[in-house]
Amino acid sequence: MDRIQRALDLAKVQRTRAPLQGEDPRAERDALNREFSLSTVEFAARLPLDWVALRERRVIAPTDVHAAGHAYRMLRTQLLQRARADSLNTIGVVSAINGEGKTLTAINLALSLAAEPNQTVLLVDLDLRRPAVAATLGLAAERGLESWFAAEGPIKNVCYGIEGVERLFVLPTLAPIAGSSEALANINTRRLIGDLKDRDPGRLLIVDLPPVLLSDDALMIAPLLDAVVLVVHERRTRREDVVRVIELLGNTRILGTVLNRSLESELRAY
């Protein structure tokens, strides 16, 4: 009971805080600005998606009627509200360790966001040790961020559009980068994120980050981002790991958590 009471109190505090921020005139203007801004993303090519195969990899198409689809829509909506309220452009997706559904959450969230009208979404795979976005989506990309880190060309060379999903662009990493820490420590990373972010304030960057507890990569990138979403796998992520991640992320804003593989479905018969 005590636990429930505390949870309710927390929720109440958050609810009372949200409208106050929403009334901020500058944030209001930014939000309007973002909604009507045009997509100015330059990309190398538009690549097709095999939705049937994607379903087997648990990627949910915007049109699918699925309990998980509902959950991602809930996530999208809350994320958008906060992003617009606080002018957040870059949002990382982190987890404590690998295998907790971080990449899948990033992809499904990006797809879900892209389904929103007037919202351009860039999905960046910065998990340089075990890049998985391209493989999960089954993208037949020629070059990935690894080549950009190796020999800085224009970013549009590694940016791909998706056929059928107008406002989603993917910056995949095709192969693991040896010495990922050094590559990320490079000033280029800051420039990359800055570039992608500042090109258009209406864009939303979803960055797939490496597991926080397995390397320092995530910790290096996290300060460059506006906020992160923490992915937690029910009955797999350990409590002490979650606590440790929150400790490590320090000043980085954690927008919220996503509970994967939750046994409590939020979609009742509706």
Partner 1 sequence: MNVPIDKLASAREYLMAARHRRTPLIATFAAGLLMAILLALLLPPHWRSAGTILIEQQEMPQELVRSTVTSFADERVQVISKRVMTTETLLNIIRRYDLYPEERAKDTREALLKQMRKDIGLKMISADVIDPRSGHPTAATIAFEVSYTSRNPDLAAKVANELTTLYLNENLNNRTQLARDAATFLESEGDRLNHRIGELEADLARFKDKHFHQLPELTQLNMQLLDHTDEDLRSQEARKSSLQQQRVYLEAQLAQLKPNSTVFSETGERILSSSDRLKMARSQLDSARAMYGPDHPDIARLQRQVAGLEKELAGSASKTSTESVTSTGTDTGDLRRKLDSAQASLAEAVGRYGPEHPDRVRLQREVESLQAQLSAAPTSTPEPPKLTPKEADNPAYVQIQAQLSATLSDLAALEEQLAKVRARSLEYQKNVSLAPQVEQQYRELLRDYDNTRLKYTEIRSKQSEAKTAQNLEADRKGERFTLIDPPLPPEEPVSPNRRLIFIAGVVLSLGLTFAVLWLLESSDSSIRGRLDLLMLTGIPPLALVPHIGTEGERRAGRRRRQFALGTVTATAFVAVAFVHFFYRPLDVLWFTFARRFGL
Question: What is the CB neighbour count within 10 angstroms for residue 17?
Answer: 10
φ, ψ of residue 198 in degrees (nearest 5):
-85, -15
- Token pair in block for residue 206: 């979803």
150 binds partner 1 (CB under 8 A): no
93 binds partner 1 (CB under 8 A): no
67 binds partner 1 (CB under 8 A): yes
Please state, in angstroms and rounded to a whole number, the distance separating the CA atoms of residues 14 and 182. 39
Nearer to partner 1, 60 or 171 (CB): 60
Please state, in angstroms and rounded to a whole number, the distance separating the CA atoms of residues 115 and 249. 30
Binding residue count for partner 1, defined by CB under 8 A: 52
233 binds partner 1 (CB under 8 A): yes
Which among 29-37, 185-193, 207-215, 233-241 is the span making contact with partner 1, rule CB under 8 A? 233-241
266 binds partner 1 (CB under 8 A): yes
What distance, in Å, lies between the first and last C-alpha atoms of the chain?
Answer: 28
Residues 7-46: x where in contact with partner 1 by CB under 8 A, - otherwise, as a string: x--xx--x--------------------------------
**Within 13 Å, how many C-alpha atoms sit on residue 148's CB side?**
24
What radius of gyration do the chain's Cα atoms show? 18
Please state, in angstroms and rounded to a whole number, the distance separating the CA atoms of residues 122 and 226. 15
165 binds partner 1 (CB under 8 A): no
Name the residues that contact partner 1, by CB under 8 A. 3-4, 6-7, 10-11, 14, 55-58, 60, 66-68, 71-72, 74-75, 78-79, 101, 104-105, 229-230, 232-240, 242-243, 246, 254-267
